[in-house]
Amino acid sequence: MSDHPNVPGAGAGRQSMDDGGQRIRTCSIPLSSGSSRIGNLEWSDLGQALVVTEDSLVILSPLSPLNPALVPQSRAHDVECHPRWQGRFPHSLVQINVQTFLENEHSLRSRIILEADHSAVDPRFLNLQWTSATWSKPGMGPHGSCLILATTSELDLFVLGAPRNAWTGEWRLLHAVDLQPVAGLAQVGLPKSSPASSHAAGDRDIFTRSRALLRKKQMATEVLCAAFIDLPSRAPLLAPSTYIIAGTRSGHLAVWECHASTGHCTFLTATAVSNTAIEQISLSVQAAALEADAQARIAFQDAGGIRLCDFYALEDHAVLQLIESPSVRTGHCMVTAWHWSDHRLLYATIGAIHIYDVHSAEAAVFALVTDAASDDDPYLPVVAIEASPDPAFLAVAILQDLRKYHIPPPTVSPTETQPTPLLPVHASTLLGYPPLTESLQRKHDFHQAFLAYRSESGSSLASASLIGAIRTDERVAFLGYNVSDTLRYQLELVHNSAATPERAIDEALGACIQPQSRPSPPYLFARTILALLATSSDADAYRSSLHAAIQQRWQSLLQTSNDGTDPEPRLAEGRHRQGCLLFILACRLSEQCAHPPPALDALRKKHKGRVLYDWLQRQLSDLTPRLSSSPQPTEEDRKLLTRFSVAARMLPAASFEAQEEQQVVVTEETCAACQAQLTMRWDEHQNDFGWAKCQNGHVWPRCSVSLATISDRETFSIVNIMSQQHQEKKKKVVSIALLVADTPPPPVVAVRGDYTKIYPRFLQESLNTIKRHPWQPHVELHIRCYDVVKKMEYPDEGQLSDGLWDAVMITGSASSAYLDLEWTKKLAAFLRATAENHPLVRLIGICYGHQILSRAFDGVVESNPKGWELGTTSCTLTEQGRYLLGYDEPSEGDQMAIQQVHKDHVIDLPPDFGGESFENLASTDISPIQSLILRYPTEAPPLASTAQTSAYMAFDIEDSETASSGPHPLRNMHVLTFQGHPEFDREIVENIIEVRTEMGIVTGELRERSLVNAKKPHDGLKLGRAILAMLGIEEARTDSGDSMINV
């Protein structure tokens, strides 16, 4: 009798998930949408989690082993974790909303509307949702990233990619897969031996043959499931090794060849394998599961059960061949999880695990036993089947309540028909809750259901692993279908007592040199080790042991690499990966302690040059033969090769003969400002390539991948600020990042352009009315627009930190700032983070910008029950309002005239921020809060571009260039907002009123009054000058401080 608890005859009872192990909740992140899809989390080979919700595809990337400056724009701000390891588990969170993402994209599938055919109206088409998504292998996407293959409720198939950086959220539609070639192959009739052939007669009785063919063609363009298939390198005659397999409603399996980087798909073949819809597919490329010459085996489910199909990839085409042997399963059922283990297919139904041997065609069933005396639900579905770390078992099945069943190899004889019972292993108690809320949170979480629970295999060690989980936030209904509107992502660390620092380091180093077809990136192992450190009960002792272990193993590795004692050449790649792992750990540990060990810091700096040299040599070895074989290499590729060659010779790791004698080398690159040649240099102190510099003093940053200078004309006027040489005529450039939150109505665009034209024109016109002293620098405005709604793009975090942006300005919008839209929440989070992390960057809000800034600082925004304010409106200024905004002449009184188009308004001032209070400068009877300011703690701190940093400085270091008689009082404003629109003129407001009238919003007396108000004069340019004065651009004054012009 076996001693294992899952084998019949073993004793029952609750078991710990891991003997002597711990299960720790490292962090938890709420998601903005819900889903009822089981198994809706998938890890990529790069360590990114993909979650499918109804509204969004959510990409979560744990950032702990990576550079902390990575993807600040998409960093999740609501990460919940234990206070002791607060900030140790940062995540990048990107949500690809289906409505926003596909708003301007068109499917290549044309719909066929069948007259008087009730099936032509599918309720799934009424509300567009994501239905499934899966990763490709690394390298299929641009710059070595992964692609995403996604389906929607409209049964379309899309390939998504990140053209620039898969970590920043800049995901785009690369290809909408055309299903028309599949429709062209559709025929009326059923595949031979189809178990669902009994349905055919009914179809022919209902429809004529021509009409049935039309229906078949329509269903052939509707995809229900799809997956990438990555063929191993042993596949003959195959250059592109990635394909897309899709199952359609017509019963076809279709194949496309997917091209790397572009994501473009070329149709190859489609085969009718059923007369009913293909509901699910599961692919295997394991050699033990394949027939001779086949590259993959496909298991698919339709209304008749589960069947198998072989896939053959040839030189210029592909073949799908339905296996004529008996079906894996006859009869429809709900399959919640699949898994291939060599030549066995495992799939889960409610209460059972089925195993099908493709060699013997024998099937076995294991019953998932539930203790009748417990409160466990016997009808919970299996959310995941994963390979077992214990070689005695095939796999582990995980239920929605995290009960685990270890599945042994089947030993049932063909004559036995009763399922073999398996006893559960219950999950251990989850640790890591905040102490003050531990009891309450654990009680709440006990009632939640897990829709997904998957190990991140790329970072798994023998003694520790990370697990991604998706759970609901409310109770669940029958059979595990959740009734919650939201989901929550949870990252768990599971480890046993053997996970000491030395053991973890050795396991990770050993995994780096294991021969694998697709090795894991070293930073994934560093992710697990850093998680062990963060959650350790004695982090200081654990860190000291890590320091010692890294230093000892690094010395040994460097010695091995230097004396060339690797027993096999293939181990050189493994040694390189080991060095990268130790380098990553040393960098992250150095950031966490004020005084890292000197020996470890020296190793880190020494190894950085070696890592860069190895990387450059790899790039050169890939680039050189490609260019030499190309009949017409591009000029850009030639320059790239030259840069890499020069850089490789400058590194300390280069040989003495190859190393450049000069530390600064003149390159073929030219300065975008003056066309002089640029230099490349190696900074020994920073162990990095410094900025490119020309003889005239202009400096440009270098891309960390291509080493090319980032010097496009769009950023020229900003980077020119960093020039160390003064031009003959001094010039002051004020840079403003304009966050565009909407597009005005078409009539406005027709006469004034969109907001990318209206706002820059308004600021330039305001600037033109300001008279300056001849000795003051000439002022130029550099304004760059960011689409924060559709593209959700923002200024680069590095540029903000380097002081390249003086201000962030938010436009108006027809949206409401109090809505919990994805882009709205991201905008509010960005504004708050900018105020906290980049205090010298001024924040300016107009109308919607006024409201969203209030929300970002925890103010309250609501729809106004008193109705609209439209046209020029007189706002009563406070005493401070008159002083700050320049209404200091007796003739001007205390009224600010400003164009208005709004119904939402701010009802409460935000709370204090940074020790300073928000102040209201103006009010009306309808909306009491019309203009907000937030002061700096000191008077007139410098602009970020002047200080060349966004970190706070108390005093302006360049005040002599901005004013003649002391700074303008607005210079010490951190935040300035207006509820009205100083940028609007009469024609803009009149057109907006007419559009609102056509929509039935502004009618009757309100319309007439608003049109009259729109014609009244307003103080737009005066308020524009106030905005510019906040940025250090004010009119010239006499020695007494009076204005030299009457403004």
The string of pLDDT tens digits covering residues 313-367 is: 887 788 999 988 778 988 888 999 999 998 899 999 999 999 999 888 889 999 9
The tokens describing 67, both together, are 């550079």
Give CATH for domain 716-1030: 3.40.50.880
Q: Could you give the CA distance from residue 962 to residue 1036 in angstroms, rounded to a whole number?
A: 9
As beta bridge partners, residue 922 has 877, 931
CB-based contacts of 562: which residues, under 8 Å, 6+ apart? none
pLDDT greater than 60 at residue 963: no
User: With 50 as the cut, is the pLDDT of residue 656 above it?
Assistant: no
State the amino acid at position 522 in one-letter form: P
Query: What's the CA gap between 120 and 219, in Å, rounded?
Result: 10
Distance in angstroms (rounded) separating the CA atoms of residues 311 and 321: 7
**Number of Cβ within a 10 Å radius of residue 864:** 15
Query: Over the stretch 743-757, which tens digit does the pLDDT of each residue have?
Result: 999 889 888 889 999
Q: Indicate if the pLDDT at residue 481 is higher than 70.
A: no
Nearest Cα to Cα of residue 904 among 844, 857, 860: 860
Comparing C-alpha atoms, which of 393, 380, 387, 309 is closest to residue 349? 380
Mean pLDDT of the chain: 81
Q: How many C-alpha atoms does 978 have within 13 Å on its Cβ side?
A: 28
- In 580-663, the DSSP E strands lie at none
Q: Helix or strand or coil: residue 879?
A: helix
Higher pLDDT, 805 or 78: 805
| Nearest-angstrom CA–CA distance, 339 and 1014 | 67
Residues β-bridged to residue 588: none
According to DSSP, residue 530 is labeled H
pLDDT digits (tens, 9 = 90+) for 384-419: 999 998 889 999 999 998 999 999 998 755 555 789
Residue 783 confidence (pLDDT)? 92
What are the phi and psi torsion angles at 444 (to 5°)?
-65, -45
CA distance 976 to 241: 56
Using pLDDT thresholds of 50, 70 and 90, give the confidence band for residue 77: confident
What does the alpha-carbon distance between residue 868 and residue 871 come to, in Å, rounded to a whole number?
10
For range 853-873, the mean pLDDT? 93
Is residue 124's pLDDT more than 90?
no
Determine the Cα–Cα distance for residues 317 and 243; give it in Å rounded to an integer.
11
pLDDT exceeds cutoff 80 at 999: yes
What would the DSSP string read from start to end of 463-492? SEEEEEEEEESS-B-GGG-B--S-EEEEEE
Burial of 355 (0-12, 13-18, 19+ CB in 10 A): buried
The dihedral formed by the CA atoms of 940, 943, 948 and 950, expressed in degrees to the nearest 10 = 90
Residue 564 confidence (pLDDT) above 90: no
Max avg pLDDT among 240-249, 298-307, 711-720: 298-307
- The set of residues, in sequence order, having a beta carbon less than 8 Å from that of 178 and lying 6+ positions away, is 108, 109, 265, 267
The yes-or-no verdict on residue 738 having pLDDT over 60 is: yes
* 588 within 8 A of 65, measured Cβ to Cβ: yes
Do 1038 and 899 form a contact (C-beta atoms < 8 A)? no
Instruction: Collect all residues with Cβ–Cβ distance below 8 Å to 42 and sequence separation of at least 6.
Output: 49, 50, 133, 134, 135, 454
What pLDDT, in 10s, does the model give residues 821-843? 999 999 999 999 999 989 999 99
Residue 10's pLDDT band, with cuts at 50, 70 and 90, is: very low
Q: In terms of C-beta density within 10 A (0-12 exposed, 13-18 middle, 19 or more buried), how is residue 798 classed?
A: exposed
Instruction: Give the pLDDT band (50/70/90) at residue 817.
Output: very high
The least confident of 221-235, 340-354, 458-472 is 221-235
Backbone angles phi, psi at 550, to 5 degrees: -65, -45
pLDDT tens per residue across span 576-609:
888 888 888 988 888 777 677 777 777 777 677 7
756-791 pLDDT, tens per residue? 999 999 999 999 888 776 666 778 899 999 999 998
What is the band of 517 on the pLDDT scale with cuts at 50, 70, 90? low
pTM to 2 decimal places? 0.63
For residue 1006, pLDDT over 80 is answered with yes
Q: Residue 285's Cα: distance from chain center in Å?
A: 30
Distances in whole angstroms, Cα of residue 790 to Cα of each of 55, 170, 377, 634, 814: 15, 11, 44, 34, 14
* C-alpha Rg value of the chain to the nearest Å: 32
Task: Please give the pLDDT value at position 412.
Answer: 57
Q: Which of 21-30, 632-641, 902-911 has the lowest mean pLDDT?
A: 632-641
Helix (H, G, I), strand (E, B) or coil at 1005: helix
**Rounded to an integer, what distance in angstroms lies between the CA atom of residue 607 and that of residue 575?**
13
Beta strands in 627-777 (DSSP E): 664-670, 677-683, 688-689, 692-694, 699-700, 731-740
* Dist. CA 471–CA 451, nearest whole Å: 6
Let me know how many helices (H) and strands (E) the chain has, helices first: 22, 46
Q: What pLDDT sits at residue 127? A: 75
Q: In this predicted structure, what is the pLDDT of residue 473?
A: 72
Work out the pLDDT band at 712, boundaries 50, 70, 90.
very low
Per-residue model confidence (pLDDT) at position 568: 62
Written as six digits, the tokens of 972 are 């010490």
Rounded Cα–Cα distance for residues 504 and 846 (Å): 54
Reading the block at residue 665, the tokens are: 């080398």
Average pLDDT rounded to a whole number, residues 838-863: 94
User: What pLDDT, on a 0 to 100 scale, did the predictor assign at position 203?
Assistant: 43
pLDDT confidence bin for 615, thresholds 50/70/90: confident
CB atoms within 10 A of CB 195: 19
Beta-bridged to residue 43, according to DSSP, are: 49
For every residue of 548-589, DSSP letters joined together read HHHHHHHHHHHHHHHHT--SSTTHHHHHHHHHHHHHHHHHHH
Would you give the distance in Å from CA 389 to the centre of its chain?
31
Tell me, what DSSP letter sits at residue 537? Answer: T
Identify which has the larger pLDDT, 35 or 602.
Answer: 35
* pLDDT band with cut points at 50, 70 and 90 for residue 536: very high
pLDDT exceeds 90 at position 13: no
**Helix, strand, or coil here: 53?**
coil
Task: For residue 1013, report the phi and psi dihedrals to the nearest 5 degrees.
Answer: -65, -35
Q: How much is the pLDDT for 68?
A: 66
Structure-token match 């926003």, residue found: 100
Whole-angstrom distance, CA of residue 1028 vs CA of residue 774: 19
In this structure, of 91-95, 139-143, 623-627, 810-814, the range with the lowest mean pLDDT score is 623-627
Is the pLDDT score of 8 beyond 80? no
Q: Where are the domains of the chain?
A: 501-596, 618-711, 716-1030
Per-residue CA distances from 524 to 63, 315, 593, 1009 (Å) = 10, 36, 22, 64
Percent of the chain at pLDDT exceeding 90: 39
Rounded Cα distance between 484 and 296, Å, is: 38
Which tokens belong to 412?
Answer: 């049932």
Neighbours of 231 (CB within 10 A): 16
Residue in this structure with the two tokens 């966050």, named with its chain if needed = 739
* Segment of 171-175, 628-632, 824-828 carrying the highest mean pLDDT: 824-828
Instruction: Name the packing angle between helices 522-535 and 571-592 (round to 10°).
Output: 40
Q: Is the pLDDT of residue 796 over 50?
A: yes
Q: Which one has a higher pLDDT value, 640 or 548?
A: 548
Specify the range with the lowest mean pLDDT, choosing from 38-52, 956-970, 991-1005. 956-970
What is residue 1's predicted lDDT score, i.e. its pLDDT? 32
d(CA 787, CA 131): 27
Ordered strands of the 450-455 beta sheet: 430-431, 22-30, 487-495, 464-472, 450-455
Residue 709 is given by DSSP the state: B
Helix (H) or strand (E) holding 414: none
Residue percentage of the chain with pLDDT more than 70: 81
Cβ–Cβ < 8 Å for 259, 285: no
Instruction: State whether residue 869 is helix, strand or coil.
Output: strand
Per-residue pLDDT averaged across 431-452, rounded?
Answer: 84
d(CA 921, CA 63) in angstroms, rounded, equals 43
CA distance 738 to 720: 20
What pLDDT, on a 0 to 100 scale, did the predictor assign at position 952?
A: 67
466: pLDDT strictly greater than 80 = yes
pLDDT at 152 over 60: yes
Which pair of structure tokens corresponds to residue 118? 């009730």
**Rounded Cα distance, 339 and 282, in Å:** 8
